[in-house]
Structure 1
Amino acid sequence: MPQYADSYDVLGRVLVEQGEMQAAFDIYQKAAELTPGSVTRLLHAGTLAFYAGKNEEALTALDRACVIGVTSKMFDDHALVLLALLQFDARDGKGLQRTHDHLGRRRERATDEARLQRFDAAITALRCLHDKKLAQAMRMVREMTDEVEGEEMDMEAACNVVALWARLNSQEVQLDEMPTQVARVGQRFCVSKASTEMLVAAAQNAEPAATLIRDSHVNISAMAEQAMGYALNGAPAEAVKMLLAQGEQTRNAKLIELAGLVAQRHHEKIDDAATLAAAAKALMTRYCSKGAHLIGTRTGARAAGGLRLRA
């Protein structure tokens, strides 16, 4: 049934989960073509175009979504940040201001003020960069990055921060702190191929950010493999303790959730299994409960075809 648009939504979500951003974009673009009046599918297509590196297609889809649906409850405000990034890259100062104005009007009736406040800070930083106010932009981006150790930061905010550092570093200024800051974000949010590729795409595949992010993913995977080696060699307690220590240090959901799974599976072989499982659950509650919002709306996401990456 090639004209059944809902089937494209399902396939698109599967492809995003697998980190296949280009293929996901092709699917969501087809869905948007089948239902040209759907704000949600335009947002899907524009967002996936952004993460697939197709800036022109992303700009077209997101701009049209604003034209036909920026006042709609189905509109996802993160699209305004992605649009602002694209307008900054295109040196479109007027467009950047217009997008910021859209966000200002959305904030007047927002229910998630903290989220929109982060978006406002990101777009304000872009406008400072556009106006060559580098010191002010750097201060704002540092403040946003400092939230990476906190409980409220999610994948959405992580992508915004990485995108801003990559653009700061391209402003004819060599930022010695940029590698450290990007690595901080990467070690927490590189939990899968999909999340890693999203962060790389947010950085425009620019170096050294892209390599730093992929290295973070490799390092996290190496930690997980080392811990599982302990479990396979008859020392599951050591595996759980190692995962908990590294999970608490990095806040990485992959390590934290793996600690809980190993503690649960090998509880008969671990003397203090209940204590370790409780510690893992506490870390999961603090750092893994939000998942990774990508596209769609925060309320009624299922009905709107919203999409989240699993933590």
Structure 2
Amino acid sequence: MSELNEILNRRMAFKRAVGACTLSLHALFSTRNGLAKIVPGERIAVFDTETVSMLLSIGITPMAMLGKEKYRQRSEFPALPESIISLGTKDVNFELLDQLRPTLIILNEGQAGYPFGHVGASFRGIAPFYVSRSYRMDSRTLVGMRAEFLQLADLVDRRETAERLLAGFDAAIRATRNKLSRHENRPVFLFSFIDHWTIQIFCESGTQHEILELIGLENAYKRRGRYGYVHTGIDALAAVPEAQLVVIGPIPSAARKVMTSNPLWKALPAVKEKRLVELPPLSRFGSVPVVTRLVALLGERLPAGREAG
């Protein structure tokens, strides 16, 4: 019976794909070239958590999303409304997606290929779709991040709101740099825990690195990583003894145990000298609302009253 249902579902998806293919391709390519604008209201299904944060920041609440629980675990901002329907943790529930009848589906370029590409007709036949560049390397810079944010805002007719948020980001940069000016070029390790020993540390090729520079700080970690971060052990934090440590949540319970009892952790100069700042959970990929929040938190929580060293 399950095999029969699968065959029927595939046939249904194929019929819809034939009817909607032209619209779907038009939605993808025309919006990329600025030739058309889709104003879908709020019946949007999103497969990419970074896009969800951007939409929420400009006043659009998606109808449904993939990775709702992951978003809640890894980021507290922007807050996620209960009303958003979960489409699954990792794999999309296409039957539910079809029943919801979205007016627009948004996914990122990685999802447009494997593992989503082999079932492309299944979602392309349900609604027009838009492919976000949020996971591309050229979107891991502030210039690329801003461009993608405005492109998305144009798609849902929220350009003015997005421009106000970008102005707010620029203002936050100026305010934080001014507040921390007495500590210009202070080295900082910005990282989050993966497990009790492994950390994800932000490095020179990412948005977070650019932010540190813009607010007058120096990234203490000099290696480059493909996505703006690398995974390494906590011993890497000992490489620059004078550095400030900034850890972004969430902190796993096993890592918290290390922070309270592990001799190596306690021997780190920054830990011994109480130069450790903890921040709430924030997405590591850095959409506009997330990096604006990061800048504000750094301004609030980094000490600004004494000279470095």
Structure with bigger helix share is 1
Larger Cα Rg: Structure 1 or Structure 2? 2
TM-score by length of 2: 0.30
TM-score by length of 1: 0.29
Structure with bigger strand share is 2
